[in-house]
Each structure stands twice: as C-alpha cells, then as structure tokens.
Amino acid sequence: MKFQKSYIATLLGLSMVATSYGQQDLIQQVPENASFVVVINNQAIIQHSSFQKINDVLEKFGAFDDIGKQGVQIQSIHDLDLAYDRSAYIYKTDTDSSYYTGILLPLKAGHQIETHLFSKLSPLPASQGYERRVSTDGKTQVAWNEHSVFIMTGDARRYYFDNDSVAERYGIELKDYNKAVGFSDYDFQNVPDTGYLEDAADAAEADYDIADSAETTWQAYGFEADTTDSVLLDVPPPPAVPEPELYTDYQAYDTYSDSTYQKEMARNAKNDSLRNAAFASWLSQDFDRYLHPAQNATSHKFLNKFDKKNTLVHFWSRNMMSLYSQSIPYYMPTMQYALTDQIEKLAYAYQDIVLDLVQEKHTLKVQGSFGLEKEMERMIKPIYKNKMNRKFARYIPENHIGYMSLNVNSEAYLKNFPLMMERLYGSSMYFSFGEVADIVVTALEITLDEKAIANVMGGDHLLFVNEMKKVKKEYIDYQYDENTFDYKEIKKTKDDYIPTFLWMFTSEDQRIYKKILKLGESKDKVTQTDGIYRISDNPSDEILYVLFKDNIVFVSNDDEQLAAIRSNRFQTSRNKHIKKQIFSNTMTAVTHLSEIPKTINKLGIPVIKRWDHLVNNLSEYGDVTIVAQGNKKGRITGEVAVDFPQQETNALQYLLQELLKTIDK
C-alpha cells in the first residue's frame, strides 16, 4: 500500500488539536539548507479558535472518514496523538536530481501513533531512538519517538534523467527524437497500378508485422545498439491507391499504430519504475541525515522571528530562486535553463521572503516582506524618499467606496531604472534581448531629464472611487412601422448610475497638460468653464473634467466635486485613519466591502443564487486593505487585511462558523 497523501494532509490540518507537554522546539530538526519552511503555530491557532468548531468542520469535510478507511477508529480530534503546545514544521530541500518534503509534528504524552496511523506501513530498524516505517513504494519514510513524528517524502526530478550519461547509469531508455522524424524516401512518381494492389497490401502488412515483433526489454542495455525506433523508421508509407474503396490495409495500419503506442507506454512505465527506484534508494540513504541534521535552520534570522501570539502560520523562503525552481514544470527544463541567468540575478537582488497569516481580533492579515541585496537597496532607497503632498488631506471625500494612493520619487526612479535594467538584462544570455536592453538604457540616459519630468508628475497620486451618481444617459431606440417594416431612430434618455472618481497628483509644471487641453479646444473636444475643462469626444462617451489648483492636477467625472474644490466648498472627511494610511505608506488600496451590495444593486449587476448569502453578508464586513511600505532596514514590507463581521469572538471563529454554514447547504 502506498502511503496516501490524505494521511499527510490530515496530519497537517489537525496538528494543533490535542494536549501535550513542553519539549524542545522542532525547528532544531529543520535542516539549514531548506529552501522554504512553513511554521504552523499551534498555540495561536488553538487560542483564537475552539476545539469544537475545528472538530465540526473536519467532521463535515469527512477527515475522520478518510482515516477510518485505513482501519483507524477516530471519532474526534481528541482521539489524535498530536500536541498543540509546540509548533509544527513543513520544509522542502532541493537538489538537481530530487526534492524532499519534511514534516515535523509534535506528539502528546502516551501517544499510540504506531497503531493509530502507521500500522500498515512496513517496519524498518530503529534509528537514533526513533521507531521507523516505510511505504510500499519506498518514497515515504516516517520516524517517531515519544515527543514527535518526522515524515519525509518527495520525488525525483524527471529532467535530471534526460542527460545521456545519467540515463545510461540508471537504465533509462531515452527517446531518439532525431530518428523519429527521419522517414525513408519513397518514390511518389511511380504509383503502382491496381493490378498490383493485393501484392502491395501484403507487402505493407508484412512490414507492419516486423514493427509489431520488436520486443520491449526491462533490462538496462546499450542505447547505441537500440533498434526499436529504427524498425519503425525503415517502414515506407503505404502505396498510393487511386480508388479508396479498393484500399484494404486499414487493419494493418491500426495494428501498427496500436503497437507503437503500446511500446511507448511500456517504455514510459519502465522509465517511471526506474526513476522511482532511484529516488527510493536516495531517500533511504539520506533519511538518517535529515532526522538529525548537522546544521539546523535556526541560523536564519527571519525564520523564527514572528508574533508568536497572533501569527497562525509563518512562511519563510531562502530567496526568490527557491520559489522559482518550484514554478517551472518538470517537462519544461529548457525554459528553466534559458531563464536561469535572469532569475538568478533577480533572486540575488531580492533575498529571503517572509509571509505571515496574522489574526488581530476581527481582522485577518497576510503580512509579507523580502530582503534587499546591498546594491539593489542602494538603487531602490531613493525611490521611496518622497513626501506625499499634504494638501491632499483637504480633498478626501466624506463618502466613497474605496481609495488608492501611491507615493514614489519620480526623479529617483527615472535615474535608477536604467541601472536596474542593465543589471538584470544587460549581459543576458539572449544576446538580442541584452542588446535591446542596452539600447533602451542608453536612450533613457540621453533623452530623460529626470528633474523636469518629476516636476510634470511628482510621483504622489491619490484616487477615490466615490458613491454612485444618478445621471441622465442618452441611448438610441427604434420605432418600427408594422405595415411598411420601416424603422427610424429615436433618441431617448434614461436614469442610470455610474461610479464617480476623484484623482489628484502633484504637478509643479502644468504647461504640457494645458497645451494638450488647448489643442482639444481647437478640435471641439474640450470646453472650459470657470477654469474647469470638460473633455468629451462623443455625446454618448464618458465625460471627464480637469482642474488645476495649488500645484495639483484634479481629474474627475463629477464636475460638482471639482466646482466645490475650485470654490473652496469641498466637504473634507475627518477620518484620521484614512489620512494616516495615505501619508504613512508607499502604496495603499482600500475597498469598503459594506458598500459593495448597494453598488451592485444600483448598477443592476445580476448575482447567481449561490452567491446571494455572500453578497448580502458583505454589508457586515469592514475593509479590504492592501498596503506596501518602502525600504526599511533593507526590507520591503506590505500586507493584505480583511475586516470580518463582529458576530463571533474573532475572525477565525467567524470563518469556521461560515464554513459550517456553507457545508450544510
């Protein structure tokens, strides 16, 4: 029996649901060379949830039924042998030939994990005080003592065996693509007449019989002497037949195709078996070394640095290269090798990555950060040295659906962009791309006056999506004459709702904008009233308005807002939280979820029935917030946060309760 993946998934999902005693943190058994590590903070999960709700959710999902199918009688999470007073760990290590996934779970006192979960696995000799088991295929091993259990699995990398010398060493039979396209020449000029059709069919059938007779061996052999493909390649195409009904050799052709397919399947099955056997051998040799690694991961500064009280799950990756190596499928090694040069530069520039799932009362957050290499930090640091225009605070609307702000130093960005381009692509292995990048860099250096452009658009932007506005919209209807079947167009108007917006950005040099608008006036596309420009190409198009005031450019589709700004009648929001977010972050994007149901109704957007509950519930939610901060101590940080309804004790409790409602429907 193969060690089923559902075992591992269940163990991970339930690793926080029993009682135990304090022992040494299992991070000591995470190897130093791990490419990424996931920390499941059992203590925080239990603190912010309840045993009963976790048990109910798992029971509804059938988790206990899956375990029961293996002959283990578990009725609730209390029957499990896992502890919650220590964290659980999942990690991955990578080599050019394989990858390993390690899982470390704390166990409660007096556990019986041997009989509860691993009774059907094959026993191995005990090692270093651990009992051991192995799956039938040899690709998963487990070891446990009185305090913890270690599960190790993984797989070989298929492309590792595509190398000729490696394939020969392990007996892998590689397909010869060069031979596969080399068909024998055939004389299409001299087509035999129908009098020889029977003989030609017999000859073709005989050729196909030769292809069928080729044997597939399961033993390693010299590939130079392999003739399996060559038999196929020497078979000429069937003779041309003038009359389709006289062609009698379909059965022979089908037999030939089936035989080739069967041989291909047999070759693949043999190769898979050899790869699996190789991996099982590697795992057997490496298991003890991973059970007690010589160097553990405690040396990584940010691996064990997180809010132990509120962080539910903590993720750490060595660098971007570690994540990239997992994103390229095994069947695309060419792409992986081709992009390695650029990705390695990118991975070196952006170093360790951290992600945290954090609960703060009724808010769930995903917080992230990544480190910067010194040279990249030097180039990026000036970009984030920019002060948001404090005058923006005067123009925050009282009512809105959401808003977004961005604050970067345009001058610094334009100066450093060519350097970053040259660093990443200037010496690319693709000479054409590298040359193009070099040309782009040179052109930017010659043509850009960074300070002048920064004066035109400073780099600080603030956009508000306001409440829905009722407007009159023109549309064309048709009136038909039932007698003549003629019709004529009739212009009509109707009430409609549109979302309005207000966009502002700093511009100390507004000449270019005013010249463009003046050109629009000459083309009858722009009109001006009391300093407010109206832009419209066609009567049915959306109308935009532009206002210049206090070195700020205002753009909106609501002329009333711009008129209020121009005459100092604008009603400013007094919400200090909004101001704090805008002026303290490099980027902010906020959506007020409670406004979404009203917006959907006014816009007349249809909602499918199964989403009714979700859409209606949005009125009870708070905000979805995305923020990013500039360089701080060599790291770029940011977070995504969702404010959940306050109907339960906290956000996690609410999620569990909603899961139960969803499952019951």
Instruction: State pLDDT tens for residues 225-245.
Output: 343 333 333 444 444 444 444
* Whole-number Å distance between alpha carbons of 355 and 315: 5
* Whole-number Å distance between alpha carbons of 330 and 70: 32
**pLDDT for 532:** 96
* Whole-number Å distance between alpha carbons of 307 and 12: 21
Q: Which has the higher per-residue pLDDT, 498 or 641?
A: 641
Question: If you average pLDDT over residues 499-504, what whole number do you get?
Answer: 94
**pLDDT for 422:** 64
Question: If you average pLDDT over residues 190-201, what whole number do you get?
Answer: 43
Lowest mean pLDDT among 95-104, 281-290, 307-316, 450-459: 450-459
**pLDDT for 127:** 85
Q: How far lies 639's CA from each of 37, 159, 357, 585, 636, in Å?
A: 20, 37, 10, 11, 11
Lowest mean pLDDT among 105-119, 219-233, 375-389, 443-457: 219-233
Quote the Cα angle for 153-159-160, to 5°.
Answer: 70
If pLDDT is split at 50, 70 and 90, which confidence band does 82 have?
A: confident
**pLDDT for 290:** 95
Question: If you average pLDDT over residues 497-501, what whole number do you get?
Answer: 86
Question: If you average pLDDT over residues 143-161, what whole number do you get?
Answer: 93
Tokens, residue 359: 């609960």
Is 644 a residue whose pLDDT tops 80?
A: yes
**pLDDT for 608:** 74
Residues 391-438 pLDDT 10s: 999 999 998 999 999 999 888 877 777 776 666 555 444 444 555 555
- Point out which residues pair with 475 in neighbouring strands: 492
Question: If you average pLDDT over residues 567-578, what whole number do you get?
Answer: 93
**pLDDT for 521:** 92
* Whole-number Å distance between alpha carbons of 48 and 387: 39
Q: Which has the higher per-residue pLDDT, 260 or 123?
A: 123
Q: Which has the higher per-residue pLDDT, 395 or 82?
A: 395
Burial of 649 from C-beta contacts in 10 A (0-12 / 13-18 / 19+) = middle
Question: If you average pLDDT over residues 542-546, what whole number do you get?
Answer: 91
**pLDDT for 585:** 94
Burial of 610 from C-beta contacts in 10 A (0-12 / 13-18 / 19+) = exposed
Residues 202-219 pLDDT 10s: 443 444 343 333 333 334
Residues 139-148 pLDDT 10s: 999 999 999 9
